[in-house]
Amino acid sequence: MLRFMPVGDSMTIGSAGEHTWRYRIWQHLRATHGAPFELVGPRETLYDKATGTADSHAYADDCDPAFPRAHLAGWGEGWCHLGPLVADAVRASRADVLLVSLGLIDLGFYTNASQTTENVRAFIAQARSANPRLSLVLLPVIPNIRAETDAPFADEVARFNELLAKTAANLSEPGSPLLLASLPPTYDIHRDTYDGTHPNASGEHKLAAAFAEALHQGWGMGGRYAGSPSPTARTST
Look up the CATH number of the domain holding residue 213. Answer: 3.40.50.1110
- Domain containing 100 equals 2-219
User: What is the pLDDT at residue 228?
Assistant: 63
Within 10 angstroms of residue 220's Cβ, the number of other Cβ atoms is 8
Contact 38, 3 (CB under 8 A): yes
Within 10 angstroms of residue 230's Cβ, the number of other Cβ atoms is 7
Residue at 174 is within a domain: yes
Residue at 227 is within a domain: no
Q: Which one-letter DSSP state was computed for residue 133?
A: T
Largest pairwise CA distance in the chain: 46
Residue at 230 is within a domain: no
Residue 46 has pLDDT above 70, yes or no: yes
Residue at 16 is within a domain: yes
Count structural domains, the chain.
1
Per-residue pLDDT tens digits for 2-23: 999 999 999 999 999 999 999 9
> Is pLDDT larger for residue 173 or for residue 226?
173
Residue at 43 is within a domain: yes
Burial of 48 from C-beta contacts in 10 A (0-12 / 13-18 / 19+): middle
Residue at 211 is within a domain: yes
* pLDDT-derived band at 76, boundaries 50, 70, 90: very high
Per-residue pLDDT tens digits for 87-112: 999 999 999 999 999 999 999 999 99
Average pLDDT over residues 131-158: 97
Residue at 181 is within a domain: yes
* pLDDT-derived band at 226, boundaries 50, 70, 90: confident
* pLDDT-derived band at 83, boundaries 50, 70, 90: very high
The pTM assigned to this predicted structure is 0.95
Average pLDDT over residues 205-215: 98
Element (DSSP H or E) covering residue 3: strand 2-8
For 235, phi then psi, to 5°, come to -80, 140
Residue at 229 is within a domain: no
